Amino acid sequence: MTVEQVRSRESNPSRRESDNSCETQPSTSTTSTLRTSESEVALEAAEGILPFSSPLTAHDTWTFTNATDEKHHHREKWLSIANFHPGWFGATMGTGMIGMNLASNPYQFNGLQYIADIVFCITVFFFVFFTFISIVRYSLWPNKIRQTFEHPSQSLTLAMYPLTISMICNLWNARCVPSWGPWAQTFVFVLWWIDVVLSVAISLYIPFLLMTVHQVELIHMTGAWLLPAVGAAVCAGSGATTAYNTDDPNRALVCMITAYIMWGMSVPLAFLMIGVYLQRLIIHNLVPEVSMASSMIPVGPLGQGAFCIIQLGMDCQKFFPKLHIVSPLAGEVLYAGGVISGLIIWGIGLLWLWFAIAAFATKRFAFNLGWWALIFPCGAWNLATCLLAAEFDFKFFKVLSTIFTVALTIVWLLVTALTVMKTITKEVLR
């Protein structure tokens, strides 16, 4: 039933009575209520709110006690799916980062690795669940695909999907490969290549959209503009970890070369965009409260850039003597250069971490899904801290990484609780 048919039926009493004569209704008042509900649902279907072309009939609606409540229930359910967006994957990548921090913490206690395993399982579950919802959403509303890419904010959050895959790869390398052996190494190798394809596609295409399609101004820039670069940097770090945990030197070499290329595609770009972001902050002051959590995002590519270049140096040190393609001394040089470079980038990340914390102290901002941006970037920087603690065996890095692991876990619990509460009340689904 189209909008015109609904209006014609409501404005033509004779036609309405004729239609009613073909239906058996319990009472006149109930008929009026059902007809009103039917008209409202038909209008919503015609406007594209509900994913069906024909409205509920009076017979369908009569099976429920209250037709209006049932219509509202259907509308809320479908609107929740329609309003789902890639930003929800910020929850999965943040949860995965907590698992990595727990697994990498230099001070372990009995049971901590089991907690990391539980967090790993939670990450995988919600990643699969959110992927399923996304498939349903884009299947019912194909035009949402174009709208997502054309949206200046939602298009940036597409990077969160491969970011979550990177976290799953890292956790798989840390928890599954040591126990399950060769087949686990092959699985994570294949999964990582899927991550590479998605990360490279997003890191190449989304910045181009910013240049050509999106109408943006410097004053509207937020830390979210860095997300495409973050995705490629984190994928490079996952490749370095995958290489280190494989027993095949040739496979490790493929991962290392690809990871170095992706590091070059992402980290220098992140440095350039961070410079532009600094200019935006100096000229236009801090970002608005609704985007304040994104102030932490610049810490992410710096932390992952440091982590990746150190890990790649460790890979070169481990595999170059076995490959016989370059001098084993080259591995030692790249290892030393990676550690020093990583330490410098880590220091730049510390500076931006201070900027972000200072910005949070100046303004109060209400909860939204952007709060998940507090966890992943800081966790990425803390992973580099854990790696520096292991390489230097320096107590300062060990204590600092432990403090940040505890603090991030507390923030994660808080943000998770708020997300669950706001989901129950549907505040984050509208």
Residue 30 has pLDDT above 80, yes or no: no
**The whole model's pTM is what?**
0.82
Residue 311 has pLDDT above 90, yes or no: yes
Average pLDDT over residues 40-65: 37
Residues 89-114: pLDDT tens digits? 999 999 999 999 999 999 999 899 99
Residues 170-229: pLDDT tens digits? 999 999 999 998 999 999 999 999 999 999 999 999 999 988 888 889 999 999 999 999
Tokens describing residue 400: 């600092």
Give the chain's domains with CATH numbers: 3-75 (no CATH), 83-424 (1.50.10.150)
How high does pLDDT run on average in the chain?
85
- The pLDDT-based confidence of 72 (bands split at 50, 70, 90) is low
**Residue 316: its pLDDT value, please?**
96
**Residue 73: its pLDDT value, please?**
58
Note whether 45 and 78 are within 8 A (CB).
no
**Residue 123: its pLDDT value, please?**
97
